[in-house]
Amino acid sequence: MKLLKKVLAGNISGKAFYTVLDQAALSGVNFTIGLAFVYFSSPENYGFYTMFMGVFFLFLSVQNALINTPMIVLSPKLEDGEAVLLRRSLFAVLLLFLVMVFLSMMIITFFSGVTGIDRASLWVLPLAVCLLLLREYFRTEEYAQLLPQKALKRDSIYAVAALLAIGAAVYTDIVYVSLMFLITGAASLLVSVRKMHQFTVHLPPKHVIRQKFSDTWKLSQWSLFGATSSWLQGNAYLLLLFLMLGVTEVAYIAAAKLLMTPIVLIITSWSNVMRPLLSKAMVREQPGRAETLMYQGMAASVAILLVYTLVLMAALAVVPSGAFPEAYQGIQEYVLLWMLVFLFQLVRVNYSNYFQSALFFKMLAKSGMAVAVITVGMTAVTVQVFGEAGALIGLMLSELLFSIILLLKMKADIPVVEKREE
């Protein structure tokens, strides 16, 4: 408790509180969608939904690399006027990016092989993914200003609208892949349309947009490389499960992950609040302060993971087996594997936040690509040997490997302020 109080002291406490609530709202929507598929749809539908969400996260990784991450780590270092100009210029880049996403998603949807994909779905899924990405930009823009309370307000409205629509879908027994994307896309549009209008009518001149993107490209070119490799590392288990065993097995592992939803919340929310704070510490030439914050956050988040896992296992011990649908019997057996995955992921994410804030994108990119290549080969072997469990074993080992690499980089005493990457 003393450690948690120390970590959440002063300036961090309010921001962390708002950030956790914000992520809880989003996680609540994703958790409810997962439950809807588990209890009111088929494993095949849930498997395909999980795969499409994997594609969404690929596009989000690219967006984070090109737009969101440069915005969130550079904005706190700039004067107010320059920061606004940067964020609005990157919004213009986002609009072009969304056009490419829409066209790519149409192709992916057409060749996906999902049962029931019709002409309407070819438009719904690409449009929904673009709207989800748009909402992610605006919430990141508010985090870049260290204003998580604004993101919380927006995402709370999104969550209420989405949950009401999901409830109606469950009540009418129409839980399908395209409908869930339609719901989340429409809710994203609802909370984004006003700010989208404000940004669109105040776009900077083209030459300013080009200049700002050129400035951020020095960082984002490596961030893009790193984000792609990070997505491959984090999603190889899904792809290999799908290719080697089938879409039903994807649904089974995804259902097991639902039990660990609060930990996913912590991983994402902590990164959103820590990166701008670490950036501020570093721009003030306080690398020691930044490192202390990072290690305190790591210790606190790991402690929360361990406590949550113990409580979850105790709860599952008294839950009757009939509480889970027949197709998902035994998913509780994967809790410990998911706990180990998230344990090493929390360590890796905290180290990564530190190095991103220090602008060491090139180092992260090269390390991430090496780990991603190893992960694919390693996970293929573990799936072949251990089946479904092998997917999580491969993911766990990859997170452990990446954590060790970043730890060694920390031990190398890299001068994060005096000699940043060019």
- Rounded distance, CA 329 to CA 320, Å? 11
Question: What one-letter code names the amino acid at 259?
Answer: L
For residue 114, the model assigns a pLDDT of 58
Instruction: List the single range of 55-69, 96-110, 282-296, 367-381 with lowest mean pLDDT.
Output: 282-296
Sign of CA dihedral 101, 102, 107, 111: positive
Instruction: List the single range of 120-129, 168-177, 272-281, 393-402 with lowest mean pLDDT.
Output: 272-281
CB 31 within 8 A of CB 258: yes
- Rounded distance, CA 299 to CA 59, Å? 31
Question: For residue range 56-101, what is the model confidence (pLDDT) as tens digits?
Answer: 999 998 998 899 888 887 877 778 888 888 889 999 999 999 999 9
For residue 393, the model assigns a pLDDT of 95
Cα separations in angstroms, 149 against 21, 239, 274, 335, 411: 9, 36, 15, 32, 36
Alpha carbon 3 to its chain's center? 26
Instruction: Quote the mean pLDDT of the chain.
Output: 84
At 9, the pLDDT band (50, 70, 90 cuts) reads very low
Kindly state the average pLDDT of the residues 263-280.
73
